[in-house]
A and B are shown apart, each in its own frame.
Chain A
Amino acid sequence: QVQLKESGPGLVQPSQTLSLTCTVSGFSLTSYDVHWVRQPPGKGLEWMGGIWGDGSTAYNSALKSRLSISRDTSKSQVFLKMNSLQTEDTAIYFCTPLGFWGPGTMVTVSS
């Protein structure tokens, strides 16, 4: 059965770099794409970027300059790195193959 688990620091200081890990089970990263989606408190969903089964990536135009998505297929993990964080990056961050969503991880940007 498909499972997804996002993990990360919870609290990040402004201007610092966010690193998140998505650990998946029940499917192969070489067969399915995985996307990162975020949701600021009380707001809508924003697609951040994705990594496809062949390893190619695509990013949200507004985040492209500070976002990187990678993976380790041997560990069934997908990684998100985003630098220069600001308070408006406070959100729940989800990793998802779109057909299934995990619980997400809350990230607060604050000093």
Chain B
Amino acid sequence: DVVLTQTPPTLSATIGQSVSISCRSSQSLLDSDGDTYLNWLLQRPGQSPQLLIYSVSNLESGVPNRFSGSGSETDFTLKISGVEAEDLGVYYCMQATHAPYTFGAGTKLELK
């Protein structure tokens, strides 16, 4: 099974600060169809997860453009350019290239 390693596990930020989260995969997530199915989700406290970014860098509808995703093969990054209070919560990367699908352990973003 694919193992996704997220770092850091916890991230402390001030409002307006830019931060990045890394997600490394134990094998390439490039699918035979040419797409790379690496998604990013945010789970705010007490809420269900929501999809932020799909296929590495595509912003889900309604997600602010301060969120961006990049990477390829086995190394991926989520960047938040100017953290806002509503961004606090746990971020998960998830791969949907290889079944069984898998999640990273999560990165908790909190206020400094």
Contact = CB atoms under 8 A, between A and B. Distances in A.
Contacts of B48: 94, 101-104
B100 A45 contact: no
A98 B96 contact: yes
A94 B106 CA distance: 17
A59 B54 contact: no
B63 to A, nearest CB: 11
B100 A49 contact: yes
B105 A44 contact: yes
Given A58-B99, A58-B100, A60-B100, A47 B94 contact: yes
Interface string B70-112: 0000000000000000000010101010011111111000000
A104 B105 CA distance: 19
Residue of A50, A98, A103 ringed by the most chain B CB atoms within 10 A: A98
A54 B49 CA distance: 26
Interface residues of B, number: 22
Contacts of A102: 48
A101 B50 contact: yes
B33 interface: no
Contacts of A61: 1, 100
Interface in A55-111: 58-61, 94, 96, 98-104
Contacts of A50: 99, 101
A75 B92 CA distance: 32
A63 B39 CA distance: 23
A104 B60 CA distance: 21
Contacts of A100: 51
Contacts of A46: 103
A104 B43 CA distance: 13
For the complex of A and B, the 4 pairs showing the least CB-CB separation, nearest first, are A58-B99, A101-B48, A47-B101, A45-B103
18 contacts: A35-B101, A44-B104, A45-B49, A45-B92, A45-B103, A47-B100, A49-B100, A58-B99, A58-B100, A94-B49, A96-B49, A98-B54, A98-B94, A98-B96, A99-B51, A100-B51, A101-B50, A101-B51
Given A45-B92, A103-B48, 12 more contacts: A44-B103, A45-B43, A45-B94, A45-B106, A50-B101, A58-B100, A59-B100, A60-B100, A98-B94, A98-B96, A101-B50, A102-B48
